[in-house]
Amino acid sequence: MNKNAGLNRRSFMKNAGFTALAGATGSLAVGASQANAQGASPTQSYPRHANGNFDFDTVYNRAGNNCARWDSPPRNYPSGEFKFGMGVASMDFECAPCITEALMERVQHHSWGYLASTEELTSEIVKWNGEHHNNDIDASMVTLSDGVYPGMIAAMRSFVPRGGKALIMSPAYSGFYTMASAANIETVDSELKLKNGRYEIDYEDLETKMTSDVRVLIVCNPQNPTGNVWREEELLRIGRVALEHGIVVLSDEIHSDVIRGDQRFTPFSALPDRDVVNNSLTFNAISKTFNLAGMKNAYYYSKSPTMLRRVNQYHRAELSTLGVVANVAAYKYGREWFDQANAYMDRTHTMIEEYVKTNMPSVGYVRNEGTYMTFLDFAKTMASIGAEAQYESHGKRTAEHYFQDWMVHNSGVYLNPGSVYGKGGAGRMRMNIASSQSVVKDVLDAMAAAVNKV
């Protein structure tokens, strides 16, 4: 074996800041450290400004790499109308360099057997929650999963009998309805009300919907697609009424890191009411934080051991070695990258708000508090083009699906139809803003030209 092929651990820890995954045995070929010597390190190649900060302005082209956001929509538009993929919730930025370096180092070990341990991953999850969200959890509370979906489906199977229901405050992430279907349960919506420029909970309607067949309440915080970051008093109120009705709270907090600068995120499990907290489970991942959805890594936890045991009996995770490597690297060394990315997206939200109000007066805008989505109201444009009257004759599920096609054909911009997010989504379209601001500006210009001509 070549004497230069062994892993220089000290060099790697210095350059990449990441130790080899526990249980990876044998000699590894030189990875990131050798690339550094050759001047080809991902850290060095990542675009940066003159001040050393990460450069999110440079467009990172994801098309042609089997990317759901950019390569799926064109299949429906073979004539080339599609130009901008602003639907699927993934970032367009090149990922944090520490992730790429950790993966490069691991793949130099040419064996892909079973993992020996995931303790480091769990430890970093606990640390991230404590340092990033001031939320005190420990490893015994955490169950690793290969996605939020399998964890929530296991919880639904645990707490909801077949034919029972999950209560959802809508508009809400369309995946909740898919999860409920997979668990063989039904859903009922409590529609949020738009008041003074913010989506608010209709508490009277919410409690009215808490009938005897409703066994879980899904809380989405931050709310996808409306962008709400729920306040402590809001979470306490819905948590207490759920407890009174014997309904378990399932809190999806996958967007919890993507919070705008003037907002404060409150984890449901950190509420100052122990009974409310013990009646809940939280589902999370850093797949949105670091754009790692393809690495299939997530977790759920509860401060009630009884709750956790009930869900665990319906759940099994099959974790990917590279997913564990990537996530540990992100947790341990990606904080600076994410803080800069989050600040950049905050400025993008402000740019969009100002642009829409100035250049698209017919389009309704609600200020986001979190997530990198925005929920635009195109009801006036849809009325002008007769979307409600034409969608069925064009073979579309809803008027919003018809408008999705109209927008692509007239601007090249692909958005998600609001109707897939439950009650309250009519007339709305979800737009992903996690792209270079130059791309977002081109998208806004294209949409404005389309809607302002009708």
Q: Among candidates 53, 62, 52, which has minimal Cα distance to 93?
A: 62
pLDDT digits (tens, 9 = 90+) for 162-196: 889 999 999 999 999 999 999 999 999 999 999 99
Q: Is the Cα dihedral 32, 35, 41, 42 positive or negative?
A: negative
pLDDT at 148: 97
- Contact between 145 and 300 under an 8 Å Cβ cutoff? The reply is yes
Q: Give the model's confidence band at 50: pLDDT under 50 very low, under 70 low, under 90 confident, else very high.
A: low
- Contact between 140 and 162 under an 8 Å Cβ cutoff? The reply is no
Q: What are the domain boundaries of the chain?
A: 68-94+336-451, 119-333
Overall fold of domain 68-94+336-451? Aspartate Aminotransferase, domain 1 (3.90.1150)
- What's the mean per-residue pLDDT of the chain? 90
Q: pTM for this structure?
A: 0.89
pLDDT digits (tens, 9 = 90+) for 381-407: 999 999 999 999 999 999 999 999 999
pLDDT digits (tens, 9 = 90+) for 231-251: 999 999 999 999 999 999 999
- Contact between 121 and 328 under an 8 Å Cβ cutoff? The reply is yes
Assign domain 119-333 to its CATH architecture.
3-Layer(aba) Sandwich (3.40)
Residues near 324 by beta carbon (within 8 Å), at least 6 away in sequence: 21, 115, 118, 121, 297
Q: Give the model's confidence band at 51: pLDDT under 50 very low, under 70 low, under 90 confident, else very high.
A: confident
pLDDT at 38 over 90: no
Q: What is the largest CA-CA distance in the chain?
A: 73
pLDDT digits (tens, 9 = 90+) for 273-318: 999 999 999 999 999 999 999 999 999 999 999 999 999 999 999 9
Helix intervals (H) in 83-231 = 97-107, 119-133, 148-159, 175-182, 203-208
Q: Are 68-94+336-451 and 119-333 in the same CATH fold?
A: no
Summary count for the chain: helices (H), strands (E): 18, 14
pLDDT at 107 over 80: yes
Three-state secondary structure string covering 382-428: HHHCCHHHHCCCCCCCCHHHHHHHHHHHHHCEECEEHHHHCCCCCCE
Dig out the tokens for 225 from the structure.
């697609």
CA dihedral (315, 321, 327, 329) in degrees, to 10, reads 150
432 beta partners: 373
How much is the average pLDDT of 49-53?
A: 78
Cα distance between residue 142 and residue 126, in whole Å: 8
Chain centre distance of CA 186: 24
Chain centre distance of CA 5: 39
- Contact between 255 and 289 under an 8 Å Cβ cutoff? The reply is no
pLDDT at 32 over 70: no
pLDDT at 6 over 60: no
249 beta partners: 217, 280
